[in-house]
Structure formats: structure tokens, C-alpha cells
Amino acid sequence: MRRSQPRRKLIFSLLSVITISTATLTAGSAAAIPSDSDTTRDDSFEYKLDADYWFPQEDCDTVTQEIQQGILSGTADEGSIACLSYVSAADDHTSPTAVIPAPGWCTRDVVTVTRTEACGMRVGKITVTNLNDGKVTGELTYGQVIYAFTSASSTNWQFQATLGEVSAWGTALGTTISGTSWCEGVCTTGPQSWPTKQLSPGTTYEGYASANATVPNRGDIGATVIHTTLTTSNPQWVSPRTAKTQTAPVRCDNMLPGRGPGCVFEVIPELNYSLSGPYPELAAHIRDAQQSGLPGGSSTRPLHRLTDSDMREKNRNTSCPSSLTRPPGTDCDEYPFASTWEGAATGSGGFSRRFIDSTQNRLGGSALATFYNKNRVIEQDAFTVVITP
């Protein structure tokens, strides 16, 4: 869970979600992967994705079969061939963070994705096999962290990868790594750095790529993906090995009312109101409304933002008409929110209204507006509202 995050430090070698401050990318620079010491997370929502989607695909089973079938063959002089596999936490308790830094919320063998960040860790193994007799002649075990971040107020976003050697022997010693990236979708490829570097104990390989979304006109929207090819090579191998990966799509748009363009991962954001926070009456109303069967409390029955001002006003007039007498010091609070398609007039599932403290109602409404902006909740975007103690 990320509580407020400081501005990321800029470095030149490397490489919400209610509040996040993202450094603007400049040519030849990258933001550092945040560690436990410089970041926490304030978003209570996160999604777990299969790590195979983000990390380069394994190919050792294929290489072994092709050697056994004689598809890959050669003499001892022709050297060996390398392949990639991953070691699960159940089989190897080595922590990637023992050799490379990573945020505390980053999880091994899965990729955790929020509205503006994604992170995953794996332990990989490069196995080198002799083409003549099929025997393993070397292995290199490494930890890897991938991290990507977007900005709700910028069209620049970035993908980063860091690798650190855990151990190596035989024909895997002296392995070098390099890479290249490109952007697909409504974007141009931005600054990137994938240096050629030899892996060795105590050193890390750091690379990054960035994308610049092209959504200059009001109403523009589209998906962007960063593709990356990592190449490992060694003079003792017959040829370099390449592994390809891609990020999950990042949505970039110019559709947020009153704001410029920005980019987010398309996970469903979560707005939190606390029963012990600054708007307890508002939180209690939403809790009771959801318990009565109204939507918004889970990703299976989310709310959807409505941006048309006339339709929002129609929702308000239906749920809280001006003819209702407000007790002194109170406002009429409606749920689902007037700014959603589930509202009193535009929805079909009913609504709830309650007179609550005026200050709480207005501050709670401001928090909702801030949530929309920070998470780029645009027209018809889904979101949930969770009430905490």
C-alpha cells in the first residue's frame, strides 16, 4: 500500500493511488526504481498479473528438446548454446532483493499493477548446454526487477529493468547483456538506455525505456505498449540469445475534464472513505447504501463516471430536489454519486439520500474530484468506493 510518494530522484545511468508525484523525463535520464526507504504506497487497490506476461519467455525446454532431436547439433569446437528459465520461490528461496533494490510492495513471481505503477520480481537462470553431447557446461542465476510508472498528468511513461547476478559457473561466466526497446500504439519511442555490460557478482545491470504518447487533441485516446528485447551473449556460445517482453497496455488520453493529457494502467481505481476520517457521516451513508444493495462496493459492481454537466444536474435534482427542506447545517447527500451513470436519474438501480453535515459533504465531494483527477477517471471509467473503519 503506497502512502504519499516523494518525487522520484533522477539519475543518468538507469534506469494511486490518490497521490503520486512523477519526475518528468528528459533526454538521457531515468527515474530510479523506488526502494522501501524512499517510497510508500497509498493506493489500497492493486491487481496481480501472471509474471509470464511481463518477463521474457522461457525457452530451455525447447532448446533441450531440439538438442535431443538433433535439430540443434554441432561439434565440441562449435561451443555451447544458452537458454532461459525461471526459478519459483517454492524451489529457490533466493530473494531478488538480496542483489537488487525493489519497492517493498513488489512481489516475486507476479506483477503487481496499480493505476500508475507496476512492479514484479523473478529469479532467472541461464543454462548453457554443449551442442555436441548435451551436457550442461555452465549456469548463471540472477535476480530481476521490472518496474513501470505512468503519470496522470503527463504523456511520458517509463519501463525499467534491473538485473543482479546471484551466482555463475563454467561457460556462463563472463556473460554480457544488452537491449533495445520500441513503443507501439499512440506513441513515439522516447529516451532509452540499454548498455552492454558484463554480469558479475556485486554489480547490477540497469536499463530503461520511455514512451511519449501522442494524444494532442481533446478527445484523443489510445493504448501504448513498450516492447523490449534483451540479448545475452558470451564468446563461449555459438550465438547470442534474445528474449522479448512487453508491458501491459497503458491508456493515454486527452479526455479528463479540466485537465491536460496523461497516462494510466487500466485497472479499476478505488476511492476510500473512512468512518473515522474527516467525513464519517458521508462514509456511513455510503456504507448503508451499499449494504442496501446499491452498487459501487466491488469491482464486479463498480460505479462509472459521468461527465456531462446537464445529466449530472438531472441526477442531483432527482435525488435531492431543491424542494426538500434541509435541516440547518446539513446538505442532502446522494448515493450513487450524481457524477456517475448509476445516479438517481441515469441509473436504474435506485438511490439513497441522507441529510449530513454540510462541511463533511462538501469536503467529501472535493475528495471525489481529487480522486477523479489523480486517477484520470474519464467518461464511463469504472471505479469502486470502499468504506474503511
Q: Is there a single domain that holds both residue 194 and residue 120?
A: yes
The SS3 call for residue 277 is coil
Q: Is there a single domain that holds both residue 238 and residue 369?
A: no
Q: Is there a single domain that holds both residue 222 and residue 242?
A: yes
Instruction: Enumerate residues 6+ apart whose C-beta is below 8 A from 49.
Output: 110, 111, 112, 113, 120, 248
Q: Is there a single domain that holds both residue 205 and residue 300?
A: no
Q: Is there a single domain that holds both residue 257 and residue 337?
A: no
Q: Is there a single domain that holds both residue 234 and residue 251?
A: yes
Host domain of residue 310: 270-388
Ranges of residues in the chain whose predicted pLDDT is under 70: 1-53, 56-58, 71-78, 93, 97-98
Q: How many folded domains does the chain comprise?
A: 2
Contact 224, 186 (CB under 8 A): yes
Rounded CA-CA distance 267/249 in Å is 11
In a domain, 384, yes or no: yes
Element (H, E) at 355: strand 352-357
Q: Is there a single domain that holds both residue 216 and residue 331?
A: no
pLDDT of res. 25: 35
HEC string for 280-313 = HHHHHHHHHHHHCCCCCCECCECEEECCCHHHHH
pLDDT of res. 364: 97
In a domain, 253, yes or no: yes
pLDDT of res. 18: 23
The SS3 call for residue 126 is strand
pLDDT of res. 62: 76
Rounded CA-CA distance 261/311 in Å is 24
Rounded CA-CA distance 77/194 in Å is 31
C-alpha gyration radius of the chain: 25
In a domain, 229, yes or no: yes
The residue type at 194: W
Q: Is there a single domain that holds both residue 190 and residue 260?
A: yes
Rounded CA-CA distance 352/375 in Å is 26
pLDDT of res. 264: 97
Given 265, 297, 328, the domain boundary residue is 265
Given 265, 284, 307, the domain boundary residue is 265
In a domain, 224, yes or no: yes
* pTM exceeds 0.85 for this model: no
Rounded CA-CA distance 80/69 in Å is 16
pLDDT of res. 67: 73
Q: Is there a single domain that holds both residue 190 and residue 102?
A: yes
Q: Is there a single domain that holds both residue 248 and residue 297?
A: no
Q: Is there a single domain that holds both residue 197 and residue 135?
A: yes
Contact 42, 115 (CB under 8 A): no
In a domain, 162, yes or no: yes
Q: Is there a single domain that holds both residue 82 and residue 147?
A: yes
pLDDT of res. 320: 97
- Residue in the structure block whose three cell numbers are 555436441: 132
Exposed/middle/buried for residue 317 (C-beta within 10 Å: 0-12, 13-18, 19+): middle
